[in-house]
Amino acid sequence: MKKLLIAAAAVAALTAGAAHAGDFTYNLDVTSDYVFRGVSQTNAKPAVQGGIDYAKGLFYAGTWASTVDFANGYELDLYAGVRPVVGKTSFDFGVLTYQYGESGVNTTELKAAVSHPLGKGTIGAAYFHNVDYGSTFYYEVNASYPITEKLSVSGAAGEQDLSGIKYSTGNIGLTYAISPTWSLDARYSDTNLPEIALLKTAKPRVSVTLKTTF
């Protein structure tokens, strides 16, 4: 936790001077359970999370951190890429590195994603390829739709392949815009992994997240 706070403070100090240019955005949230691709990263415990994003034209970069229940107790992500738009279709090509303070756990992925308007909502797909383990990848289809001006529904269905060990995962949830900068998300997620003792973190679960962006 101490290293997580130090890293977040360092990034904030480096970017604070340029924030007034309008290219930076910040986010902070607290969640009842940090779920990643259907698996709890906090052993069904709450997590504190936050990040900083920079965008200029097609280019974007950012960092995001969260408490976790393994490795050294924190996750620090760094990412960058480009988001070209062709007609009404948006693309996202980038690289993400996940850092946990242990060399055997740290890893990097390449990302390719696309989204397109569908009525009032959007539909999309994404593919992530792990550069450290060539036969490890994840892909999903996703969609979102506004129910009212403040309430929207979204979900995704994906497949994770861990060097030949495969499982399916999915989630669906509701997001309520409390204000222009605050939102509340309630989400159900599940996998088809067997509910044995070592995989209790992959059982069906509901997580609630309060998030602010500024």
pLDDT digits (tens, 9 = 90+) for 153-209: 999 999 999 998 899 999 999 999 999 999 999 999 999 987 654 567 788 999 999
Print the domain residue range for 206: 2-14+23-213
Global pTM value: 0.86
Q: Is the pLDDT of residue 8 over 70?
A: no
pLDDT of 193 reads 87
Percent of the chain residues past pLDDT 70, beyond the cut: 87
Beta strands per DSSP E along the chain: 24-31, 35-36, 39-40, 47-56, 59-67, 74-82, 85-86, 89-99, 107-118, 121-130, 136-146, 151-162, 165-177, 182-191, 205-213
How high does pLDDT run on average in the chain?
Answer: 89
Predicted pLDDT at 165: 87
Number of domains in the chain: 1
CATH value at residue 99: 2.40.160.40
Q: Residue 135 is encoded by which pair of tokens? A: 């036969």
- Please report the pLDDT score of residue 16 as a whole number: 44
pLDDT at position 102 is 79
% of the chain beyond a pLDDT of 90: 79
Higher model confidence: residue 85 or residue 199? Answer: 85
How many CB atoms lie under 10 A from the CB of residue 94? 19
